[in-house]
Structure 1
Amino acid sequence: MLAMLAEPFAPLSPPRSVSVAAAPGYWARLLPALALLACATRLPSFVRPLWNPDEGYLAVQARLLAGGGELYETVVDRKPPLVPWLYRAAFAAWGDESLAGARVLAIGAQFLTAALLASLARRRWGDGAGRTAGVLYLLASVGLNPEDAQAAGFEVFMLPCTAAAMWAADRRRWGLAGAAVALAFLAKQTGGAVLVPVVWLLWRSGVGGVAGAVGARGVVGAGRVLGTGRAAGAGRRGGAVRLAAGVAGPVLAAAALTDPSGFVFWTLTGSGAYASFTGSELHVLFRGLANTVLLGVACAGLLPPVVRVLRVARTGAADLWLWLSASAGAVVLGFHFFGHYFLQLTPPLALLGTAALQILPAERTAKAVLASSCACSLFVAWGLLAPRPELAHAQRLADAVRTRTEPGDRVLLWGMHPETYWLADRAPATRYLTAGLLTNYSGGRNGPHVGEKYAVDGAWDIFRAELAARPPAVVVDDSRGKPYGPDRVPGFRRVLSGGGYEAVGSVGGAVVYVKGER
């Protein structure tokens, strides 16, 4: 086995059918254990009404969709439609007063990811490897700041799609692999990075057979080898067609179900200013370093075996290294380095750690699981005990808005916390739920690329038209000294002065304005 693993780009290993047949009841024992572990690791997700602004944004979107809103028209975001639709379904099933339904779906997503990784590992390295991969993934999956790891965000729902793409490609089910890639993209654009290892597996799907034929038959069998090569090429071409169709089908369907031009703009072409490295470079780089360290602690049981094996052998799992590399590129894309971006690294890391453990002594697996369990316990305790000051601020602000408005009134919250709309149970006066879409402010960026001219194209014209058609009863300036405040954004300043709004109080630095006398 060590010789096989030392090959730098070994072809995909065949299924271990003997191991599978020798373990009756394998999944009946493993799946309940993985489900229990998924619930335990995500227990903290239920102790807060919400964890981060992404959850708030999705909650507001889901309510607007339930009220007849249309994605990329009256409901907009820089994200694909799958996760807003999932939130809408969760609200329809469990109600929209809490995010409990979305949290249940998130547990299901993590469980499905772990099960798919277990199936991949078992097929390649046997029963024990399957158990190891599933457990190590779930233990590492919460190893970030709880507001990133425990939130029912875009990445959580993207991960089972990426794992399904690799699972299908491993079995040469190219149409299914393409559909899974498409769903990963429709959860979040960076999910499409899994297409890189899938395409590599497609290309490699015929190489091993041809090489084997050459070695066995030599020159005498050259004609037959040529025929084998042609068959492999034809198989790859057919696989490529099925893969492309699998990718295109769901994406085109999603575009047709929304607004095709809006879909293209909001998911692909309308975020040029957002995906920029300019502005608060040191702050952003420090965030990236901090999240890398956190994930490294979470992977305490995974990284040492990988590093140890790399010193003596190559794992041969080139597709897994490509998966990790493509995922790392997706984390870097946009230069924001938010913690939840790093979740995309956990599935390939879990499989690489499992691969490394296969050539180390058996006791190393127990040590890896123990180290990962200890790290996981720290992150779960952090999630259960850590205070959430921004949530408390949003709740106080929501109370102030609710007391100054009627249920049918519309509100404008000028800030980066759209969850206040959901907490106050008041509809937004505009489709732009954060000031970031109108100023390009995001994630602490306060450099030269913040201001009206860096807004989403055409946003200010639409924004002014919406406020003129439906003037908000209350405007809240929640900038709190950030570079998108009224002193830096003339357009927002004109909204306050030209609309007859008067300041009536403040909540934690946020200024509340009402229109005329109430």
Structure 2
Amino acid sequence: AGYTALTLNVVDLSAALAGAVGYRWAHWGVVLVLAGVGLIALVRRRDAQRDLWALILLWLAAGIGIMLAQGKAYDYHWLPMLPPLALLAAHGVTKLPILGGFFTKSDLDSPGESRIITPSSWVSRTGWRARALVQTVTIAGVIGGLGVMLWVRALPYLTGAEDRDTYFSRFQGGEFIADESAQMVDFLRERVAPGDSLFVWGFRPEIYYLSGLNPAVRFIFNYPLVADWYPVEWQDETVEILWAALPPYVLVLQVDYLPWVTGSHDDSHALLQRNTELNNWLMYNYVQDAQIGNFLIWRRMS
């Protein structure tokens, strides 16, 4: 398909991976490290369940293949890898004491007679207890680290030290900016009755959900109406529906460059100018009322 082919080349895919890998490391770094420990343990020592682990590794390889085949490296394209990585990470936690050189496998399987394994004071008789301690500390560290990352950012908001918009402004992914979305939803709720319709020309479908307003047409994104691999008839159908029932507000996005989705390097505002029928409908029935961030807000004139 034309959509997939957009970035299915070495240059574009490498550029996508350059950012995606760093972002994934920031969120999955601990899991990846522990999964690496688990993988090393599998390579160094034969496991009685090697057939099962082979299946899990195949699962991971398939997940990597699925992500690469789509050529975009979006966040959700990585999700098929998470379950096998979690299993490998859990295996890594159980093998940390052995790979750390403190114990041999036999020491950790069951307590035995006292025998020093390393120059340290560890002895095999207490090895099984130390193993449990290492694993518990590791798991607690992972959970604690994730908790700190979450609560350090959330605590000022929860205690009232900062307002909602300031807190939301920290969350941005590409063209999605959380505080803009919240302000846009507040604007609509103050002016439009719940259950009414709304038309968003762009790639911000969260506004429909958060505001409780219904999409005026069946497309919650504009890319099926601009990309050349979709039927042109959809554009005519959309304009006809909009003429039949005018939503109270229309939101037009700007600075939302999505060439890998739209097939164009223009933002939604510029793309609207190229859609003569839709642009004429907007100019005839609406007046620009306000702007919130990258949302250009058009209000129905009557």
TM-score of the pair, normalised by structure 1: 0.40
Q: Which has the higher contact order (CA 8 A, sep 6+)?
A: 1
| Corresponding residue of 2:29 | 296
Q: Distance in 1 between matches of 2:55 and 2:40?
A: 18
State whether structure 2 residue 109 is matched by structure 1 residue 342. Answer: no
Q: Which residue of structure 2 lines up, in the alignment, with residue 375 of structure 1?
A: 142
Aligned match of 2:2: 273
User: Counterpart of 1:516?
Assistant: 301
Q: Distance in 2 between matches of 1:329 and 1:353?
A: 20
* 3-state DSSP of counterpart to 1:275: helix
Structure 1 pair 321/407, CA: closer, same or farther in 2 (3 Å)?
closer
The letter of the residue matching 1:510 is F
Check if 1:484 corresponds to 2:258: no
Residue deviations 1:103-156 (CA, integer Å, cap 9, x gap): xxxxxxxxxxxxxxxxxxxxxxxxxxxxxxxxxxxxxxxxxxxxxxxxxxxxxx
Contact 1:300 1:375 in 2 (8 A): no
- Alignment of 1:398 onto 2:131: no
Q: Counterpart in 1 of 2:168? A: 388
Structure 1 SS opposite 2:269:
coil
- Separation (CA, whole Å) in 1 of partners of 2:181 and 2:194: 18
Q: 1:464 to 1:372 in 2, by over 3 A?
A: farther
CA distance in 1 between partners of 2:230 and 2:267 (Å): 11
The structure that is strand-richer by fraction is 2
For 1:302 and 1:418, the matched residues in 2 are separated by: 36
8 Å Cα contact 2:248-2:299 kept in structure 1: yes
- Structure 1: 5+ residue runs without aligned partners? 1-271, 440-451
Structure 2 residue aligned with 1:432: 219
1:458 shift after superposition: 4.7
Shift of 1:426: 1.4
Alpha-carbon distance in 1 for matches of 2:148, 2:178: 19
Measured after TM superposition, the shift of residue 420 of structure 1 is 1.0
**Contact 1:323/1:348, CA 8 A, preserved across alignment:** yes
Q: How far is the alpha carbon of 1:368 from its aligned partner? A: 5.1
User: In the alignment, is the contact (CA less than 8 A) between 2:254 and 2:295 conserved in 1?
Assistant: yes
Report what 2:19 is aligned to.
Answer: 287
User: Cα 1:388–1:297, aligned 2, differ >3 Å: closer, same or farther?
Assistant: farther
Q: How does 1:189-338 map to 2 (within 5 A)?
A: 272-278=1-7, 281=13, 283-294=15-26, 295-311=28-44, 313=46, 315-316=50-51, 317-338=53-74
Identify if the C-alpha distance between structure 1 residues 435 and 331 changes in structure 2 by more than 3 Å, giving closer, same or farther. Answer: same
Provide the residue aligned with 2:244 in structure 1: 469
- After TM superposition, the score normalised by the length of structure 2 is 0.64
- CA–CA separation in structure 2 for the residues paired with 1:462 and 1:373: 56
- Does the aligned pair in 1 maintain the 2:249–2:298 contact within 8 Å? yes
How big is the shift at 1:511?
Answer: 0.9
| CA distance in structure 1 between the aligned counterparts of 2:136 and 2:233, rounded to whole angstroms | 52
The CA distance in 2 between the partners of 1:412 and 1:457, in whole Å, is 19
C-alpha spacing 1:493/1:297, structure 2 compared with 1 (3 Å): farther
The whole-number CA distance in structure 2 between the counterparts of 1:333 and 1:401 is 40
Number of residue pairs the alignment of both structures matches:
234
Change (3 A) 1:369 1:340: farther
200, 203, 217: which one aligns with 1:413: 200
% of aligned pairs identical?
19
Instruction: Describe the superposition over 1:284-338 as per-residue Cα deviations: whole angstroms up to 9, x where unpaired.
Output: 2223212442323334333223224424557442211111111222233322222
Aligned-pair RMSD on alpha carbons?
A: 3.2
* Long gaps (5+) in structure 2: 99-104, 109-129, 155-166, 170-176, 258-265
